[in-house]
């Protein structure tokens, strides 16, 4: 069973994660492990984007890829930066291929918090 909460306030990654865990200790950023899950998280935000609920410049979902995962969906040419100021996010508005991109943690984006119970 998957629970999720879509936030309509753009925040930097540290603030967004703090909001997740502040709402419930078991909430975290999504970590898609296959294409179906990736599409699921994309679709959580994409309809809102298309309906004009989110501003185009701030539409994205922060990801948690801190755990090893055999599946990924990086853009064809991901950033080679290994700086700790970079982290991951998924599908900015207009990126219909649902690829993951590297962005600085100080950018602000809308976000989703999730919990998976098995």
- H helices of 12-112, in order, are 13-23, 35-50
Q: Tell me the residue range of the domain where 6 lies.
A: 2-116
Whole-number percent of the chain with pLDDT over 90: 19
pLDDT tens digits for range 60-86: 788 887 777 788 888 776 555 555 556
- Whether 22 has a pLDDT exceeding 70, the answer reads yes
Entry pTM: 0.76
Residue in the block written with tokens 């990801």? 63
Give the C-alpha distances (Å, rounded to integers) separating 92 from 54, 70, 100, 103.
Answer: 11, 23, 9, 11
Give the distance, in angstroms, between the CA of residue 34 and the centroid of all CA atoms in the same chain.
14
CATH number, domain at 80? 3.10.100.10
Q: How confident is the model at residue 21 (pLDDT cuts 50, 70, 90)?
A: very high
Q: How confident is the model at residue 14 (pLDDT cuts 50, 70, 90)?
A: very high
pLDDT at 109 (0 to 100): 84
Distance CA 49, CA 93 (A): 7
Six-digit token string for 23: 């709402």
Distance CA 65, CA 48 (A): 24
Q: Is 62 helix (H, G, I), strand (E, B) or coil?
A: strand
Q: Indicate the number of domains in the chain.
A: 1
pLDDT at 25 (0 to 100): 92
Q: Is 24 helix (H, G, I), strand (E, B) or coil?
A: coil
User: Which is higher by pLDDT, 27 or 88?
Assistant: 27
Output the CA torsion sign for 38, 80, 76, 8.
positive
């Amino acid at each position: 069973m998957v629970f999720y909460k879509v936030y309509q306030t753009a925040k930097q990654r540290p603030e967004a994660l703090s909001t997740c865990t502040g709402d419930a200790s078991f909430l975290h950023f999504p970590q898609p492990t296959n294409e179906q899950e990736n599409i699921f998280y994309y679709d959580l935000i994409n309809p809102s984007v298309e309906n004009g609920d989110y501003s185009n410049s701030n539409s994205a979902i922060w990801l948690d890829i801190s755990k090893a995962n055999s599946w990924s969906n990086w853009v064809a040419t991901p950033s080679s930066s290994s700086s700790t100021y970079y982290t991951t996010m998924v599908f900015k508005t207009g990126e219909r291929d649902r690829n993951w991109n590297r962005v600085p943690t100080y950018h602000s984006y809308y976000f989703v918090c999730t919990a998976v119970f098995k």
